[in-house]
Amino acid sequence: MRIHDPTHLYAGDITPRVEKAAIVISALSYPPFLSTVMFILLSLTADTVSMAAISIAITVSTSLVIPVTAIMYYSRKFGNGDGDIAKREDRVRPFLVGISSYFLGVALLFLVGAPWICTVMMLSYATSTVIVMLISTKWKISVHATGLMGPIVLMAMVYDPIYALLSLSIIPVAWSRYVRKKHTPLQLIAGALFGTIYTVTFLTLFL
């Protein structure tokens, strides 16, 4: 049984200029790219340059290269030319590849002694993606919204609360996903809330 959603996809029309702006915003907020930037910054906290380099190599491979390759492959396989996977039922296989890649990252980061925060966040991505995948079998929760709020919460909790102001960026990101008819308002709100609450909980437990 699908989860009932009282909200609906955007039913209006947009100009080519507005559509282009929405596409750019969606691309800039692409979850694997945001997570990679976060992991690189976290890797730079390593005690040595060599460990930072190893940590970056692992995190880039397991949080970006492998998941994005899977997304692009399945996007084309399921007839989506824009890199998105429109149907919720088509998201399971790329999710499984991403989850496997994240858990591989956790194991490798732990084995090499990478900064603990890198291992914790990789584990957070692995476990949260499992939950998002399960939700997606019933309802298309927004991965963009979830993937945006996770790194912002991390920066606010670990570095400086001022970074919480970056959460305002959810407004243009949600707008871009809505006008492109990728998600309903409730799917976007749920994604943002899940990314926030889950990351706060996970960091509180493991840091």
Q: Which DSSP symbol is given to 3?
A: P
In angstroms, the Cα distances linking 66 to 32, 73, 74, 97, 103 are: 10, 11, 12, 8, 12
Q: 141 in helix, strand or coil? A: coil
HEC per residue, 17-73: HHHHHHHHHHHHCCHHHHHHHHHHHHHCCCCCHHHHHHHHHHHHHHHHHHHHHHHHH
- State residue 8's pLDDT score: 95
Q: pLDDT (tens digit, 0 to 9) for every residue of the chain, 207 residues total?
A: 678 899 999 999 999 999 999 999 999 999 999 999 999 999 999 999 999 999 999 999 999 999 999 999 988 887 776 667 777 777 889 999 999 999 999 999 999 999 999 999 999 999 999 999 999 999 999 999 999 999 999 999 999 999 999 999 999 999 999 999 999 999 999 999 999 999 999 999 998
Place of tokens 């990351």: 199
Cβ neighbours of residue 201 under 8 Å, at least 6 residues apart? none
- State residue 89's pLDDT score: 78
- State residue 74's pLDDT score: 87
**Prediction pTM value:** 0.92
Nearest C-alpha neighbor of 29 from the set 171, 185, 194: 171
Instruction: Report how far residue 61's alpha carbon sits from residue 72's, in angstroms, rounded to the nearest whole number.
Output: 15
